[in-house]
Every structure is written in structure tokens, then in C-alpha cells.
Structure 1
Amino acid sequence: MNMLRAAAELALAAPSIFNTQPWTWVVHPDRLLLRADRQRQLPAVDPSGRLLTISCGVALHHAVVALAPAAAEVRLMPDPADPDVLASLRLRPDRPPDDSALALRAAIKRRRTDRRAFARVPVSTDTVDALIAACEQQQAHLHVLAWHQTSQFALAAVRAGALQLSDPDYRAELADWTHRPPWSGDGVPASTTVPAIPRRVPVRDFAPFGGASLPPGIDNDLGASYAVIYTNVDGVRAWLRAGMALSAVLLTATAAGLGSAPISDVTETFPTRTLMDDMLPAGCAQVALRVGHPAPGEPPATPRRVPAEVISEATDPR
């Protein structure tokens, strides 16, 4: 199989907002193009397309990692005439191979969004440092919350949930993406969501009217680390960088044997995103996440679209 097409297929495993998988790939003889799929944008949750773009950045980094140990060149926004072409990816045989990505490549298929509570054992300092370094390599920053900031973060999560669940458009969007037909290959099925339990920071309620069926575990996230990915500026390129950084952090956590879960709801409303900005040393909050030692057993995988729906061959070979 063509290496670029194989990379696009492995990148189907990337996480995305509401598991919308809002991207398509076009395979050219010498490059791979990543396109935004605007039909999968969430009007209520993501009217600006910021989270769609972050999701595409996650898929882009997954594809780069999937090419390991080959080296790849990434160009963001390569076609000024078509802003939906978010990135191009080319193999660069003249560059040294990226052996460091091999461990991350193996983590792609193992990584799962784990909404269960993590154990009381804290994440080691060395691992936290590795997560920060992985983020910086993608030209974004990771602010790991200090203990005293966690309560403020929890209040932001509570406020985000209250604001969103009071919006009928949000509730309709949530219902749509948590009740997908089995053949759709997307969305957040009840089997991957957990009922509410006491924990340090509440997680998004994907089943506010009942139906969550994944046991949440016996812990309460006491040992979890919470962090915010942020960028120096806002805008499409920054959103893509934040997505690539999120991918790098999640895969690094998986390779270290940790569980992880993105937390986007705290950046989806203006009041709570402002609270996130206030917790940072500088810059613009893009997405948060939780990492920690997972409960025994693997959480169920969320569905994925079939390659034929997402990947196409270029009709114009240029």
C-alpha cells in the first residue's frame, strides 16, 4: 500500500470533538492533503470551527507519526485559494529518519479516550516533563495545573455544563452525536460514557437523560494531572498547532502507560474559556486534558468511519 495512504488510514484513529472525525484526505503521488469537512462542524458547540480545526490538527499529527521512521514535511494552509485545505504532508527522504516517533506510532491503536476515573497514584514528574516537551515540539505549550488551580478548573467545568445544557441547540446536537446509527462509524456511543460520580473535576455529561453504561471505576481522579494546551496567538494556524500538540501529548501519555481524555467543554463557551486564559502564564487556551493511571481493563473504542468515506485519490496528479 502507498505509504501516504497507509498514514491517512492509521490517522483515522485520531480523537475529535464529539467523535465527528471532521476531515478528509486526498492522496497525491507525492503528497497527502488534509481537508476540513465542514459538513461535520458542530454549529452549537463550535460555531467558529476552532474545535474542528484542532481535531484536524490531531489527525495531521497522527499521520506524521504513522509515517515513522520516515521523515515528513508539513505545510500548514498550503493553498491560499482554498482555506479548507488545512495542510499538506510530504515524505522527505533527504532528512534523517524520525526514530523517536516509533513509540508514538505503536501508541496510535492503543490510545483510547478514557472517561473513567483515574487512580490515586500521581503521574511522575519525569512523565509530566515528557508531556510538556512533546507539546513544545509542536509549537504549542502545556500548562499543567497546580493543585490550587484544580478547584477553579472544576468550577469552570461545572459552569460549562450548566451553560451548555441550558441551550436547546446544544442539547439537540448532543443527542444527535450520541445516538448515531451503528453504520455511521462516528459519534459517542453510550458504551463509552460514564455516569456521574464524585471526582475532582466533573467530566462532560454525554448522557444527561440516562443511558451511560461504562462503569466509572472506584477511584476519583485524585492522582490525575490536568493540563491546558495553549498557543501564543489565536487563529487557524494556532488551532492546527494545538491539535498537533494534543495528539503528541496523548500519544506520549499512552506510550508511558497512562490513560488520557481531552477536555474541550471548558473552552467551548466564552466565559469558561476566559477562565482558562486567566489560569495561564500567557496566551490563548485551546483545549484541556486529563491524564492518569487508568482503571484495570481497557475502555471500549469509539467507532471510526471506513477509509473509503474519508480518503480519496487525487484526480489531478499535479
Structure 2
Amino acid sequence: MTSGYPGFETIRAAVGLAQRAPSVHNSQPWRWQLSNDELHLYADMSRHLTATDPQQRALLLSCGAVLHHVQVALCALGWSSAVERLPNPQVPEHLAVLRLAPRRSSEADIDMAAAMMRRRSDRRRFASVEVPEVYLKAAAQYGTRFGAAVRPVSPADHSALRTLIRRAARHHEDDVLYQIELAEWSGRRGTREGVPARNSTAIRTADELPGRAFNDPVLIDPDPAPDAATWLMISTPNDDRLAQLRAGESLSALLLAATDLGLATCIQTEPLGLPELRDEIRFSMCEGAYPQVMVRAGRTAQVAPLPETPRRKLDDIFAELPG
């Protein structure tokens, strides 16, 4: 390594922390390479969930989330990142190059890195405990710093969104390839990828805005009250690969800020995977902007913390190439 550049173990530690980033079905569709003092992010196309995410949008969102996570981790370790996104048009899976410089870590850097370790996808119902509006605004504003708009879904739109979520669920119930893929990637036990059974709850059809149905859920959610989550929409003015990658960075920022403020969160994308439903959401709820992902946020009434979801071994996703 050249002078003024972090050592290998520092980079490895940052990538290890970034592994906590959320991804579609916990597929972790990314890989990292360290070469000539630059850290490179690649999409792992072998982990593209073709039935769940036919347009690869959720894959790019996932990679954007891990890209933001690694920047947060590096800041906490004393390094800033100059990021070049989509650096090689001839290699579309090459998503970013990070060039590092020393910086002084701030208290906010440390707090965001700590939030990476605490964040979970909480699929339980959220309690009807008032969440200070300033918390939601602060989390949303932090998310908008990374290239996408973050706005609450109006209560007036809940009925229409509920209809679209249910239409997506019915469509997927009859989609054999989707069901096969869902069985492969959820209801997991003892693996380093996929959605664990212990982190999934059964769908309650009475919920106003139900989540995605995963295979073999075992997490008990005894709260009989209706879900009181606030729904947030992340959208972008464009819908190219760069916009989707930046939306993933905004998603990561929103989730970490919400976690730091003591809020529970969960990602929802199911109706956005179907182009006709996504178009309805775009024009009825986003004023023509492209919806990329939705987030439930709120307070959980459950005392017991959720277990960590598993992650792949670092050596499987990170390599140092000869200089």
C-alpha cells in the first residue's frame, strides 16, 4: 500500500461491517476487490433472483445499500471515500470504485456504524405508539442526501396501495417460478444467506398494508392490534442503473438514521417488482417519479430483540488482487 492509505486489515474490517447491509431475500448479491489502492464493488449476477426481481432493480438497490454501508464503515475507521459510480460501461456489473483519504471520524460517523450492527428487518407489527414527526423527517432528510427523494405515503393512499400489494401477492401465488425461488431463499435454517425462518412472521391478511409472504415463518408476533407503521417511499426522477444504485444508498442512509433514532424498519418491494403495478404507484403516489423501494418505520411493542440474519463469509465476497 502507498503512504496515506489504509492497510489491508482496515479495508477488510470495513467490508466486514458493510456485510450487514440489507439485500433482496438476503441474497447479498455483491463482491469486492481491492486492487492498486482502490476498492471496487461488483454486482454478483449469479445471485440475481430472476423471478422476484426480473428487471434487476432490487439487485442494484441491494448493491447501493452495501456501497453506502461501506462508506459509513470507512468513515468510522477514519477514511473518506471518493466514489466513482458505474466506472466501466463495458463491464456493467462493475458498479463503483472507491478511492480513500484520511479523515477524522466524527461522533455521527461512529453512531451510524453502530446502527449498522443494530439494524434488523423487523417484519412484526409496529405498535400504535406515537413516533415524533421530527424523527421521521430527520431520517428522511438524511436519506435524501444520497440521490433519491424520501417521502411518507399519505394515509389517503393506503387503500390504493393495499389493493396493489394484494394484487401482487395474488399474482405471485400463481407464479410457479416465483414460488420455487421463494422456497429456495426463505424459511432458511443454519445457512449464511436467504431469509431465516426465525426472522419471518406469518402474513395477516387483515393488516391494512401486509408484507411479503415468506416460506415457513416461525417468528411469533402476538400483537393483536393493527399495524401502525408509517410507510416511506423512495423514488428517483430517472430509472436508469445509476438512479437505482443511488436509491440503494438512500435506502441504507434512511434505515441507519431510523435505527439510530430508535425506530424499527422493514423494506417492502413486492408490488414494485411488477411493471404494471409499479406504474400505477408511480403516477398515483409519486407524481411521475420512479418508485424504487418502500420502507415501514415505527416502534415495535415486542421487548425481545430480533436475532441477526446470517451473512456470507468475508472471504467469499472480498479479495485482494495483486498490484
Give the residue type in structure 2 aligned to 1:9.
G
Alignment root-mean-square deviation, CA = 1.7
CA gap 1:154/1:241 in 2 versus in 1, 3 angstroms: same
CA gap 1:56/1:67 in 2 versus in 1, 3 angstroms: same
Q: TM-score, normalised by structure 2?
A: 0.91
- Of 3, 14, 33 in structure 1, the residue corresponding to residue 21 of structure 2 is 14
Contact 1:5 1:27 in 2 (8 A): no
Partner of 2:229 in structure 1? 224
- The whole-number CA distance in structure 1 between the counterparts of 2:94 and 2:228 is 40
Partner of 1:66 in structure 2? 73
Listed one character per residue, the Cα deviations across residues 67-112 of structure 1 (whole Å, up to 9, x for unaligned) are 124321111011233111101112123x675653321111001000
Partner of 2:167 in structure 1? 159
Give the residue type in structure 2 aligned to 1:293.
R
Matching of residues 255-274 of structure 1 within 5 Å = 255-274=260-279
CA gap 1:290/1:181 in 2 versus in 1, 3 angstroms: closer
- Of 5, 19, 31 in structure 2, the residue corresponding to residue 24 of structure 1 is 31
Q: Does 1:90 align with 2:90?
A: no
Listed one character per residue, the Cα deviations across residues 108-133 of structure 1 (whole Å, up to 9, x for unaligned) are 01000000000001321101111221
- The whole-number CA distance in structure 2 between the counterparts of 1:169 and 1:199 is 26
Q: Does 1:185 align with 2:180?
A: no
Give the residue type in structure 2 aligned to 1:276.
I
Partner of 1:233 in structure 2? 238
Partner of 2:148 in structure 1? 140
What SS does the aligned partner of 2:276 have?
helix
Contact 2:40 2:97 in 1 (8 A): yes
Structure 1: runs of 5 or more not aligned: none
Judge which range, 21-30 or 37-46, deviates more.
Answer: 21-30
Kindly report structure 1 stretches of 4+ aligned residues shifted beyond 6 Å.
none
- The whole-number CA distance in structure 2 between the counterparts of 1:122 and 1:153 is 22
Partner of 1:286 in structure 2? 292
What SS does the aligned partner of 2:172 have?
helix
Matching of residues 178-217 of structure 1 within 5 Å = 178-180=186-188, 182=190, 184-197=191-204, 198-207=206-215, 211-217=216-222
- The whole-number CA distance in structure 2 between the counterparts of 1:261 and 1:14 is 13
Contact 2:189 2:197 in 1 (8 A): no
What SS does the aligned partner of 1:43 have?
coil
What SS does the aligned partner of 2:251 have?
helix
CA gap 1:103/1:115 in 2 versus in 1, 3 angstroms: same
Q: TM-score, normalised by structure 1?
A: 0.93
- The whole-number CA distance in structure 2 between the counterparts of 1:170 and 1:259 is 28
Judge which range, 129-138 or 219-228, deviates more.
Answer: 219-228
What SS does the aligned partner of 2:235 have?
strand
Judge which range, 82-91 or 17-26, deviates more.
Answer: 82-91
Which structure dedicates a bigger proportion of its chain to strand? 2
Partner of 1:79 in structure 2? 88
Contact 2:125 2:228 in 1 (8 A): no
Give the Å deviation of 1:192: 1.1
